[in-house]
Amino acid sequence: RSALAVRAMRLSRPALVRGLLISAVSNPLLQPTAPCTGAIPSDADVMSRFFADDGSFSFVLPSGWSGRTAPEQEHASPNHLIAVSAGQNDGPATLRAVVDGGLRGRKYGTGLADLGPLKPITDRLVERELINDDKARDAVVLSAEKLTERGGVSYYVVRYLVGSKPAIAKLAIVQQRLYCLFVRANKLASGLRFFDEPSALRSEMEAIVDSYHVLPIRSAACLAQSNRAEVPAEVACSKPA
């Protein structure tokens, strides 16, 4: 486990707009994420685990959260192999989970080392989030760390603020594909203190991030179908390992 110390680094939106628009063309971490529609079937009164239709990732939705992407819409994004979203029924927090690579992307390698070191990836990710928020004027990276979880999969986990709105991102590279989870509260929070103070909102955001797991796809046939942005034909593809 490695971590970057909390940094009082504030990114200015005007400067980023001037310096990053060209980079966004070739860097997937800087490209806009297309919104998804629909609803993942879920029971808002209990915690429920969502599995991607190819079985490659999953996460838990806490009580009071509902999916917003129908199963048939998981591969509908023009920018991602898979894109799903969810949010609080009566609150400001949302999540989006995307997979890049295959037909819609490039080969990303076998692990985070192929993506790049923690610090520059963190900076690029938060810059991207600032560029995509028209109302935010600045962003602050609060912490970043590398974690290795079950199955030996490693993740970058980044906590940050965009226009004083708290967010967490979790990234992994598996089977040449880039996996990203973003959980964000779309309201002003207690600034730099949000991740130091206990709150129900923070607990739910952290729980979702902790529950997000990426798993290798079992068979070459399932992986090939998924990389073509197709719904896997085999029922076994969607079963967790």
User: What CATH class is the domain 2-238?
Assistant: alpha beta
Q: Give the tokens for residue 116.
A: 């790049």
Digit-coded pLDDT (tens) for 25-63: 334 443 333 333 334 444 444 578 999 999 999 999 999
d(CA 110, CA 18): 33
Q: What is the mean pLDDT of the chain?
A: 80
Res. 240 pLDDT band, cuts 50 70 90: low
Largest CA distance in the chain: 49
SS3 content of the chain, % helix, strand, coil (to 5): 30, 30, 40
Torsion on CA atoms 6, 85, 173, 223, rounded to nearest 10: 170
Helix axes 13-24, 118-131, angle to 10 degrees: 110
Digit-coded pLDDT (tens) for 115-138: 999 999 999 999 988 888 888 788
Residues 65/77, Cβ–Cβ less than 8 Å: no
pTM of the model: 0.81
Q: What is the pLDDT of residue 239?
A: 62
| Backbone φ, ψ for residue 74 (5° rounding) | -60, -30
